[in-house]
Amino acid sequence: MQLLTIGKNQAGQRLDKFLKKALPNAGTGFLYKMLRKKNITLNGKRAEGKEILAQGDEVKCFFSEETYASLSGAGAAEDTSDYRKAYRSLKDISVLYEDENILLLNKPAGVLTQKAKPEDLSLNEWMIGYLLYHKVISEQSLQTFKPSVCNRLDKNTSGIIAAGKSLAGLQELSELFHDRTVHKEYLCIVKGVLREKKHIKGYLYKDTKQNKVAIYKQKQKEAQPIETVYEPLEDNGEVTLLKVGLITGRTHQIRAHLA
């Protein structure tokens, strides 16, 4: 029998989702079968899988050691070398705020928020490497919960990135961004002189193969509506510093819409 005690970073999620992380080599149908047959129990009782876990809950798996090792991938812990390499290599990232649940990070221009290719090193890997280095998390804990960034900025854009250190922090930040409770503003320099505050609308089409977008004034097939507001702050007669707000948040929206 194996005992899995739910910690703070496992609490707040459904039992079946936790089991899929703890036993990644087990199929969904197999897990539900084990729940029905009470080979997996929650606090000593039969469970359906939809129960929401609380800190301190006990999940018991009545498997042989060999079966459990095979289903959990024991002995094949996640390779954390990319996280540690990113933490050593990406020097200009700094922590603006940190508590037990969240991180606010300063992303410099030239750094990816999340990797686009397997070999990339991004701020997300840096953040996990930072938490590993300071022993906030362990390689073992990464098997059932992985801290993550909650918003993204383009590679060549600098600014604040919010990340969830704990499951509670990740869920709270995700809800804030989803409900647009958090307001994001951008500063950018554009060619030419702009003097009036404006709210502009249009339609944006993204070519995913080329990672390029096109802007239209009228509705086009598959184009998504966009809204951008901007306020000129200062100019030198050739370029203007703008404060920009996104009503919608589409790929390359600021650059493409202002152009």
Name the catalytic one among 154, 179, 207, 235. Answer: 154
Known catalytic residue at 154: yes
Phi-psi region of 243 (alpha: psi -120 to 50; beta: other; left: phi over 0): beta
Do 152 and 114 form a contact (C-beta atoms < 8 A)?
yes
Q: In this structure, what token pair is assigned to residue 166? A: 């704990």
Closest by CA to 125, choosing from 86, 154, 163, 90, is: 86
Please tell me the distance from the alpha carbon of residue 17 to that of residue 11, in angstroms, as a whole number. 11
φ and ψ at residue 60, rounded to 5 degrees:
-110, 135
Q: In this structure, what token pair is assigned to residue 240? A: 């203007």
Closest by CA to 125, choosing from 156, 97, 161, is: 161
Do 244 and 186 form a contact (C-beta atoms < 8 A)?
yes
Instruction: List, by residue number, the catalytic residues.
Output: 154
